[in-house]
Amino acid sequence: MTSLPALHRARAGDAVRAENPLRAGTVAFYPGSFDPLTIGHVNIVERGLRVFDRVVMALAHNVNKQAMFTLEERRDHIREVFAHDARVSVTVFEGLLVEAAVAHGATAVLRGLRGVADFEYEFQMSTMNHLLAPELETVFMMTEKGHFFVSSQLVREVASLGGDVALLVPAPVLAALAARLRK
């Protein structure tokens, strides 16, 4: 049986909440490359906000990945898309995801799952993250049925070949893609 002291043991995020009442509530850390942000990502954030009080979108600084948009551009896209909702913020992190998540007072890492193709990689990552920070849970949301085929990689490929991606990305990203590909 779980002991009372164990039940009351502090969890990641409690310290931040106790220090600053304005930061009260549950925080999900939603990491990714978001290169670019798609309607699939937006949907995960919106549904994440039904479960968590705040979502911190966390742009990973990955030197090994060739990106289409700079970190600053991607951060600006996210800011513009979620400008109407103070519950969503964006940060850029380097190093271990779990350390950045705990530093932001998150109790969970939020990730979308499109299907079995995502599963293996996500299972490995969440298991590794749990080993590194057992107090941090990973919460997966199944992608909405109309979004299972949407990926940043396909959006980049289709857009750069002249295909129409208007239904797959939010308006600021569509404008940025058009501007980038005109160059």
Between CA 77 and CA 81, with CA 80 as vertex, the angle to 5 degrees is 85
* Footprint (CB under 6 A) of ligand PNS, residues 119-148: 125, 128-129
Nearer to ligand PNS, 18 or 128 (CB): 128
- Dump strand ranges (E) for the chain: 27-32, 54-60, 88-93, 108-113, 137-142
Cβ proximity of 30 and 111 under 8 Å: yes
Q: How far is the CB of 142 from ligand PNS (least distance, A)?
A: 16
Three-class SS state of 63: coil
Taking the least distance from each CB to ligand PNS, the nearer of 113 and 158 is: 113
Catalytic (active site) residue 41 = yes
Measured CA to CA, the distance from residue 54 to residue 106 in angstroms comes to: 9
Rule CB under 6 A: is residue 97 a binding residue for ligand PNS?
yes
**Residue 145 annotated as catalytic:** no
Counting contacts by CB under 6 A, is residue 112 touching ligand PNS? no
x/- map, 22-61, ligand PNS, by CB under 6 A: ---------xxx--------------------------x-
Assign residue 137 a region: left if phi > 0, alpha if psi is -120 to 50, beta otherwise? beta
Binding site for ligand PNS (CB under 6 A): 31-33, 60, 96-97, 125, 128-129
